[in-house]
Amino acid sequence: MGIVPGGDSGRGMEAVVVAVALLLLQLSSAMASTDDGVGGEEKYKDPRQPLSVRVEDLLRRMTLAEKIGQMSQIDRENATAGVIGGHFIGSVLRGGGRVPAPGAPPQAWVEMVEEIQRAAMSTRLGIPVVFGIDAVHGHGYAYGATVFPHNVGLGCTRDPELAKKIGAAVALEVRATGIPFIFAPCVAVCRDPRWGRCYESFSEDPKLVQQMASIISGFQGEIPARGGRRGAPFVAGQRSVAACAKHYVGDGGTTGGVNENNTVATFHDLLRVHMPPYYSAVIQGVSVVMVSYSSWNGVKMHANRFLVTDVLKNRLRFRGFVLSDWLGLDRITNPEHADYLLSVKLGILAGIDMVMIPYTYTEFIDDLTLLVQNGTIPMSRIDDAVRRILRVKFTMGLFEHPYADTSLAGELGKQEHRDLAREAVRRSLVLLKNGKSGDRAPLLPLPKKAGSILVAGSHADDLGSQCGGWTIAWQGLTGNNLTVGTTILDGIRRAVDPATDVVYAKNPGAGYLRQNKARFDYAIVVVGEAPYAETAGDNRNLTIPAPGPSVIQTVCGSVKCVVVLVSGRPLVVEPYVGVVMDALVAAWLPGTEGHGVADVLFGDYGFTGKLSRTWFRSVEQLPMNVGDAHYDPLFPFGFGLETQPSTA
């Protein structure tokens, strides 16, 4: 049975039917406030009961309105007590840059989350809301949080244990603000650096991404050796968070690296390249999987029942819940939201359990109610979705601990986490060149004791640029007044001998260099990309943004220099690397601990990072990945020069 939606009178009559049905459901809920309608002991409230017993006991007490409410995730901007209680909302997200207040301390976040939770707990059944937030490289939206290197840099460490430690630290910082659920990690296998989300990917190599997915066990805690069921969600307690593997599946393989585009691949290649990280995620008990905006061979992932239900839920035996992306159902149609009733039908039948509907939640609730009442979507599909959502909430301990542990407030930005981030920066740096041909000695490590050194470039003294996207704001911001951290320039000044004169000139002209080049022992040029996220980061040419190239040419043409490139992916460097640069370091997007860069430049630690991505010569070669038949990179996958710590 199906529905042909449209703007005719039939749709108007259907709307009346829905309104009457909702009124009856609300009346039923009100009557049930003194009698739950099923009688007997409320086993779902008893933590001594088996998980399955608690889930089924609660599920049988719920009305259709309460079930559909659990399937709804709205933006916190709309999460008033009336909306939460009136629609039985199951989840709230903090989206798009909205924070309690600029520079808000942990307690302000906690109060925001708990106000929402109190509304949920006051409903008839008292089902807690699960509040979620993006924390793709630390709790980046929170002022003062530790911002770790983005995944592209972490992949260069090739250290799953380090990733796990970072996950645990991020979990504590998120919990410090009262939030128990994060939309991370991104386990995409980025096959084309032109993609604006490539820095969210650990690598182009599925095996490396699979290994670095160990960060999930950091976020959620390790499943005990004895106990646990494959595919079942697992969260260790109030010091851990529920994680979300995203974006299922193939988002890193779209044609031309265009965000939300079509991934053309055989099923065998999809399994070989893009699916392995999800095997690891499921084995580690990941709580949630988020569906990708992208398509597979022309079929939108949000409408792909084969991959969401048959493969993920049935073959991989994933027992957590499947979440849509932001307005993901709307984007099933082109233009967006052109036939929302159809989109809801396709998405829910595909196997999506919770729908991210930041604003149009009433339309979603009304349409899904109609689709159930007229038999288009069977009640068994609704029950499967709600069963999965409740399973995650019980596993998280939300029913026993719906509110924040305020003793964790000091975890946000604590020194131990900053030290860990600084280590991650050191180990993610990749040394691509060290000395010109014919030089008797490599340039790096740099001497700390010098008469005068020049530091130049747009990214040397810009905390926002070195953090990149998903920091304070969705697209990221430039500047040093955004959050707490150390710029690369700060790190250099702290690292050198007190007698060394550090001169900073953001964009020194040729005249300045002619007059002063004899003054400088060497120069450090730090340039790179401006912050971006998602589609805004799609880039067809991948050149170093201006004035970076001219700064490189001007400074390195006059003074012995090392170029530090701050970027979310490899960029075109061949015109400079063989001519003017004495040394080249890929620093990726290091986050708030910029002194980690100085630690290695000056030899307190050696360079150890290895490329997690192929470094191309020109964009005409793309996509080009390790193992391709025609593989002619500037620097191959796995490349990275090493240095020893300085003994000076």
Beta bridge partners of 74: 92
Rounded Cα distance between 317 and 69, Å, is 25
Question: Given CA atoms 412, 418, 419, 421 in this order, what sign does their dihedral have?
Answer: positive
Predicted local distance difference test score (pLDDT) of residue 38: 59
Predicted local distance difference test score (pLDDT) of residue 112: 96
Q: Among residues 75, 173, 366, 534, which one is catalytic?
A: 534
Beta bridge partners of 433: 584
Average pLDDT per block of 10 residues along the chain, 648 residues long? 35 43 44 50 97 98 98 96 98 83 96 97 98 98 98 99 98 98 98 98 98 98 83 96 98 98 98 98 98 98 98 97 98 98 98 97 98 98 98 98 98 98 99 85 96 98 98 96 97 98 97 95 98 98 98 97 98 93 98 98 98 98 97 98 88
Q: What are the residues whose beta carbons fall under 8 Å from the beta carbon of 268, sequence distance 6 or more? A: none
Predicted local distance difference test score (pLDDT) of residue 39: 63
Predicted local distance difference test score (pLDDT) of residue 30: 42
Predicted local distance difference test score (pLDDT) of residue 32: 43
Rounded Cα distance between 7 and 12, Å, is 8
SS3 263: strand
Q: Do strands 72-75 and 355-356 pair parallel, antiparallel, or not at all (unpaired)?
A: parallel
Predicted local distance difference test score (pLDDT) of residue 439: 73
Question: Known catalytic residue: 325?
Answer: yes
pTM, rounded to two decimals:
0.94
Is the CB of residue 240 less than 8 Å from the CB of residue 171? yes
Q: What are the residues whose beta carbons fall under 8 Å from the beta carbon of 424, sequence distance 6 or more? A: 148, 149, 153, 154, 157, 162, 166, 591, 593, 596
Q: Among residues 325, 367, 593, 599, which one is catalytic?
A: 325
Predicted local distance difference test score (pLDDT) of residue 34: 39
Q: Which of 648, 49, 149, 162 is nearest to 399 (CA)?
A: 49
Q: Which of 562, 551, 596, 528 is nearest to 199 (CA)?
A: 528
Q: What are the residues whose beta carbons fall under 8 Å from the beta carbon of 511, sequence distance 6 or more? A: none
Predicted local distance difference test score (pLDDT) of residue 437: 73
